[in-house]
């Protein structure tokens, strides 16, 4: 029987869709503390595609890989609740300040350590940067083909995968031999909800550092309940060149960040009384701006 | 060597608008940097395209004509581009932030170990001082884009890596003819030289091109709604006003994400950039990513019950009230009084 080894790349992101008024501090910087951290939406679409392969071929194994601070383990648990088999948190101070290229390099080193895979699936882009670069860059670093903008994996066997892509102006169906990296669009189906049994089973899954922090007996945990631990890898766990990591490994630098001060226009302010709106509309029609 | 380069994208046998826009911007940058403007065109049956490109100020056109390059697939285009960039060493490389540019750009940047900034809204030339190393960099490309969170604009630079790569969305830069008699040298590239046998791994088995029915880019009037409009049903009001005024409905990203309207209607940095005669912003607070896509509208009317909404600062008219009260009144007056 066919079974596939699938790696899903995911990112924990601040929920920029729910930016409230207190999201900006008085000095114009972002107040990250008030923004909830979520599973990047398109990465959930990617997980769903992986789960659908597993539905069809139950022996398949889905490994969720994320890079971020220790609290990013939250999204690995979220992935467990929905059906992922394994979770790896790539975390190290040395990764701080990574741009897309340094991020892709670090992820590709972790994937080389996982070694055995047929398909890598990730979201097209993350909502905090919208760059859509990490997927293709990871594929390039691993020297495997990429299929971007996937809406549906239509068929898969050991020889090849058939993917429907959603483009700006139409659709394209492509096929490719494995291994391959696929980035999934937001037009793909939403991820299934959490499974109650899995939620009970994995809700205490933690990383080793978190476990030690809370004073747990990590030896006992490690031996008795392996499903309760999330793998935590730092730079000592992967084979990588330190010069290519983090800020130093990032060719792009932020030169400056400006707050926007718009040139205030002389704006005409009116209320929503009938007469006021009628006068405005009359003015617009008379000056041929509308009509 | 050390020129400004633009990847010219083909859409069903025609050069995409965004490529002309980037050539126009590239010409300005090349003049500032005192270097040449290069265009890269990869596809099949490319005779005569130099006549279309030359007026935009292209000095050298690198043309790779090969059946494997059409329709577009990632790896063959990457190989040719990476190969040519290694030989020609451009200092700046621009491409459209389209489905093709966003597929090709990161792959090329990774292969070259070069930085890439997505969705820039401005490109400028400037200098940079690295204080720790006391090093001054001249003539860097400032890649300017709104960044996370709303009220900030980030200027990104690639001090040490070349080319300095950036993608730009369609409509952000202006398409300007440079010189109708501009001379363009054509270099015919032998694409086969750059292909690797593994480049043909992905095969297209079906293509189905559909013209998008929604095109708000060239609409003279845009009635746009934010998350505050509240529902798909409430957006119908905006559709009615837009129809009456001969315009289109636009939306913020939040409204699109909430499923109120189709994503083709999204105005802003990651959507469409528009410059209509009138932009009526309904319940839009005015995050910078949205403003980046509409601030050059001739007349901006903001309807908002928050008198302090940031968009009000750039509006010509501010109507202080609820969308569901104001829009019907506008519809009523217009129906009664238009000729």
Is A135 touching B (CB cutoff 8 A)? yes
The confidence score (pLDDT) of residue A290 equals 79
Q: How far is CA B177 from CA B55, B56, B181, in A?
A: 6, 5, 10
Is B207 touching A (CB cutoff 8 A)? yes
The confidence score (pLDDT) of residue B56 equals 97
In tens, the pLDDT along B184-213 reads 999 999 999 999 999 999 999 999 887 667
Pairs from A279-283 (Cβ < 8 Å, separation ≥ 24): A280/B301, A280/B317, A280/B319, A281/B330, A281/B333, A281/B334, A281/B337, A282/B333, A282/B337
Split at pLDDT 50, 70, 90, the class of A288 is confident
Shortest distance, CA B336 to any CA of chain A (angstroms): 11
| DSSP 8-state assignment for residue A248 | T
- Decide: helix, strand or coil at residue A216: coil
In this prediction, what percent of chain B has a pLDDT beyond 90? 75
Q: How far is CA B147 from CA A30, A103, B121, B144, B285, in A?
A: 10, 18, 11, 9, 17
Helix axis angle for A41-56 and A73-82, nearest 10°, is 40
Q: Cβ A289–B118 below 8 Å, yes or no?
A: no
Per-residue pLDDT, averaged over A139-149, amounts to 98
The CATH 3.40.50.1220 portion of chain B extends over 221-337
Q: Tell me how far apart the alpha carbons of residues B195 and B190 are, in angstroms, rounded to a whole number.
A: 10
Q: How far is CA A174 from CA A162, A165, B73, in A?
A: 6, 8, 10
With 90 as the cut, is the pLDDT of residue B75 above it?
yes
Split at pLDDT 50, 70, 90, the class of A246 is very high
Nearest CA in chain A to B105: A133
The confidence score (pLDDT) of residue B271 equals 86
Complex prediction ipTM: 0.87
Secondary structure (H, E, C), chain B = CCCEEEEECEECCEECHHHHHHHHHHHHHHHHHCCCEEEEEEECCCCCHHHHHHHHCCCEEEEEECHHHCCCCHHHHHHHHHHHHHHHCCCEEEEECCCCHHHHHHHHHHHHCCCEECCCCEEEEEEEEECCCCEEEEEEEEEEEEECCCCEEEEEECCCCCCEEEEECCCCCCCCCCCCCCCCEEEEECHHHCCCHHHHCCEEEEEEECCCCCCCCCCCEEEEECHHHCCHHHHHHHHHHHHHCCCEEEECHHHHHCCCCCHHHEECCCCECCCCCEEEEECCCCCHHHHCCCCCCCEEEEEECCCCCHHHHHCCEEEECCHHHHHHHHHHHHHHHCC
In tens, the pLDDT along B134-146 reads 899 999 999 998 8
Q: Which helix (H) or strand (E) holds A274?
A: helix A274-286
* Torsion angle of C-alpha atoms A114, A119, A123, A129, degrees rounded to 10: 50
State the residue for tokens 């699938």: A6
- Give every CB contact of residue A252 below 8 A, 6+ residues apart in sequence: A99, A100, A101, B115, B116, B117, B143, B156, B157, B158
Nearest CA in chain A to B322: A272
Quick one: CATH architecture of B221-337?
Answer: 3-Layer(aba) Sandwich (3.40)
Per-residue pLDDT, averaged over A276-283, amounts to 88
The confidence score (pLDDT) of residue B238 equals 95
In this prediction, what percent of chain A has a pLDDT beyond 90? 63
Q: Tell me how far apart the alpha carbons of residues A218 and A207 are, in angstroms, rounded to a whole number.
A: 10
Domain-wise residue ranges, chain A: 5-244
User: What residues of chain B, 18 to 77, have a C-beta less than 8 Å from chain A?
Assistant: 73-75
With 80 as the cut, is the pLDDT of residue A212 above it?
no
User: Across all residues in chain A, what is the average pLDDT?
Assistant: 88
- Decide: helix, strand or coil at residue A220: helix
Q: Compute the Cα dihedral for A23, A24, A29, A33 and give only its sign.
A: negative
Compare CB distances from A148 to B11, B103, B210 and report the shortest one's residue: B103
As given in the structure block, the two tokens for residue A59 are 């022996």
- Range in A14-28, A124-138, B313-327 the model is least confident about: A14-28
The confidence score (pLDDT) of residue A218 equals 52
CB B284 within 8 A of CB B318: no
Paired residues of B126 in beta bridges:
B140
The confidence score (pLDDT) of residue A270 equals 87
With 80 as the cut, is the pLDDT of residue A20 above it?
no
Per-residue pLDDT, averaged over A107-112, amounts to 98
- Range in A47-61, A137-151, B239-253 the model is least confident about: B239-253
The confidence score (pLDDT) of residue A223 equals 44
Task: Name the residue with higher pLDDT: B338 or B150.
Answer: B338
Is A271 touching B (CB cutoff 8 A)? yes
The CATH 3.40.50.620 portion of chain B extends over 4-200
As a whole number of Å, the CA-based R_g of chain A is 23
Q: Tell me how far apart the alpha carbons of residues A110 and A235 are, in angstroms, rounded to a whole number.
A: 9
CATH 3.40.50.620 holds for A5-244: yes
CB-side exposure of A164: number of CA atoms within 13 Å?
Answer: 14
Split at pLDDT 50, 70, 90, the class of B288 is confident
Q: What predicted TM-score, i.e. pTM, was given to this entire model?
A: 0.86
State the residue for tokens 């859509």: A132
* Torsion angle of C-alpha atoms B106, B110, B111, B114, degrees rounded to 10: 100
In this prediction, what percent of chain A has a pLDDT beyond 70? 86
- Give every CB contact of residue A56 below 8 A, 6+ residues apart in sequence: A156
Q: Tell me how far apart the alpha carbons of residues A233 and B14 are, in angstroms, rounded to a whole number.
A: 48
* Residues written for chain B: 339
Split at pLDDT 50, 70, 90, the class of A121 is very high
With 70 as the cut, is the pLDDT of residue A25 above it?
no
Compare CB distances from A173 to B99, B117, B206 and report the shortest one's residue: B206
Split at pLDDT 50, 70, 90, the class of A268 is confident
Per-residue pLDDT, averaged over A49-56, amounts to 97
User: What residues of chain A, 43 to 102, have a C-beta less than 8 Å from chain B?
Assistant: 99-101
Q: Which helix (H) or strand (E) holds A124?
A: none
Split at pLDDT 50, 70, 90, the class of A224 is very low
Paired residues of A9 in beta bridges:
A65, A122
As a whole number of Å, the CA-based R_g of chain B is 22
Count other C-beta atoms under 10 Å from residue A169's C-beta: 13
With 70 as the cut, is the pLDDT of residue A1 above it?
no
Q: Tell me how far apart the alpha carbons of residues B226 and B213 are, in angstroms, rounded to a whole number.
A: 22
The confidence score (pLDDT) of residue A30 equals 58
The confidence score (pLDDT) of residue A22 equals 62
Q: Tell me how far apart the alpha carbons of residues A80 and B285 are, in angstroms, rounded to a whole number.
A: 37
The confidence score (pLDDT) of residue A265 equals 65
CATH code given to domain B4-200: 3.40.50.620
Split at pLDDT 50, 70, 90, the class of B180 is very high
The confidence score (pLDDT) of residue A283 equals 86
Annotate A174-190 with b (16+ C-beta within 10 A) or e (fewer).
Answer: bbbebbbbbbbbbebee
In tens, the pLDDT along B90-136 reads 999 999 999 999 999 999 999 999 999 999 999 999 999 988 888 99
Shortest distance, CA B75 to any CA of chain A (angstroms): 7
- Range in A277-291, B10-24, B170-184 the model is least confident about: A277-291
Contact list, B321 vs chain A (CB under 8 Å): 271-272
- Range in A37-46, A230-239, B270-279 the model is least confident about: B270-279
The confidence score (pLDDT) of residue A221 equals 47
Is A38 touching B (CB cutoff 8 A)? no
Count other C-beta atoms under 10 Å from residue B305's C-beta: 15
């Amino acid at each position: 029987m066919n079974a596939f080894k699938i790696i899903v790349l995911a990112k924990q992101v601040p929920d920029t869709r729910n930016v409230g008024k207190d999201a900006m501090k008085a000095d114009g910087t972002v107040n990250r503390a008030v923004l909830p951290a979520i599973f990047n939406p398109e990465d959930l679409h990617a997980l769903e595609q992986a789960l659908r392969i597993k539905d069809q071929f139950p022996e398949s194994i889905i490994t969720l890989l994320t890079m971020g601070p220790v609290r990013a383990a939250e999204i690995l648990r979220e992935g467990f609740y929905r059906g992922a088999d394994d979770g790896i948190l790539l975390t190290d101070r040395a990764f701080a300040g990574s741009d897309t290229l340094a991020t892709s390099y670090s992820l590709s080193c972790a994937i080389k350590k996982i070694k055995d895979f047929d398909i890598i699936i990730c979201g097209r882009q993350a909502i905090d940067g919208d760059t859509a670069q990490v997927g293709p860059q990871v594929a390039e670093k691993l020297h495997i083909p990429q299929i971007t903008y996937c809406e549906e994996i239509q068929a898969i066997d050991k020889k090849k995968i058939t993917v429907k892509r959603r483009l700006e102006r139409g659709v394209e169906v492509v096929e490719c031999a494995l291994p391959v990296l696929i980035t999934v669009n937001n037009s793909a189906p939403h991820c299934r909800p959490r499974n109650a049994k899995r939620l009970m089973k994995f809700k205490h899954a933690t990383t080793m550092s978190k476990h030690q922090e809370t004073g747990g007996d990590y030896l006992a945990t490690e031996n008795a309940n392996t499903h309760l631990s999330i793998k935590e890898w730092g730079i000592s766990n992967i084979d990588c060149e330190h010069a290519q990591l983090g800020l130093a490994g990032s060719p792009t630098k932020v030169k400056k960040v400006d707050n926007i001060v718009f040139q205030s226009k002389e704006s005409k302010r009116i209320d929503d009384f009938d007469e006021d709106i009628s006068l405005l509309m009359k003015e617009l029609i008379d000056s041929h701006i509308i009509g | 060597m050390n020129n400004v380069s633009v990847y010219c994208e083909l859409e069903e046998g025609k050069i995409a608008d965004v490529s002309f826009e980037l050539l126009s911007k590239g010409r300005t940058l090349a003049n500032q940097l005192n270097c040449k403007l290069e265009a890269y065109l990869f596809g099949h049956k490319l005779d005569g395209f130099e006549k279309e490109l030359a007026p935009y100020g292209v000095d050298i056109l690198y043309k790779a004509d090969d059946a494997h390059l059409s329709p577009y697939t990632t790896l063959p285009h990457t190989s040719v581009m990476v190969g040519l960039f290694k030989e020609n060493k451009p200092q700046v490389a621009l491409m459209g932030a389209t489905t093709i540019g966003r597929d090709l750009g990161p792959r090329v940047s990774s292969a070259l170990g070069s930085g890439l900034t997505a969705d820039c809204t401005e490109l400028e030339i400037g200098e940079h001082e690295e204080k720790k190393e006391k090093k001054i960099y001249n003539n860097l490309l400032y890649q300017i884009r709104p960044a996370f969170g709303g009220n900030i604009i980030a200027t990104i630079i690639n001090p040490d890596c070349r080319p300095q790569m950036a993608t730009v969305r369609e409509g952000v830069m202006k398409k300007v003819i440079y010189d109708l008699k501009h001379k363009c040298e054509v270099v015919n590239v032998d694409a086969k030289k750059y292909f690797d046998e593994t480049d043909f791994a992905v095969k297209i088995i079906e293509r189905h091109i559909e013209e998008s029915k929604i095109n708000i880019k060239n609409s003279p009037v845009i009635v746009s709604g934010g998350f505050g409009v509240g529902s798909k049903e409430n957006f119908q009001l905006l559709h009615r006003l837009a129809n009456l005024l001969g315009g289109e409905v636009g939306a913020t990203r939040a409204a699109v994400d909430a499923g109120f309207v189709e994503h083709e209607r999204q105005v802003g940095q990651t959507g469409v950039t528009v410059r209509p005669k009138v932009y009526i912003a309904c319940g839009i607070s005015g995050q910078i990513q949205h403003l980046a896509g509409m601030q050059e509208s001739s007349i901006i009317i903001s309807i908002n019950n928050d008198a302090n909404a940031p968009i009000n600062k750039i509006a010509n008219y501010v109507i202080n009230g609820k969308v569901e009260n104001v829009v019907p009144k506008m519809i009523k007056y217009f129906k009664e009084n238009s000729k």
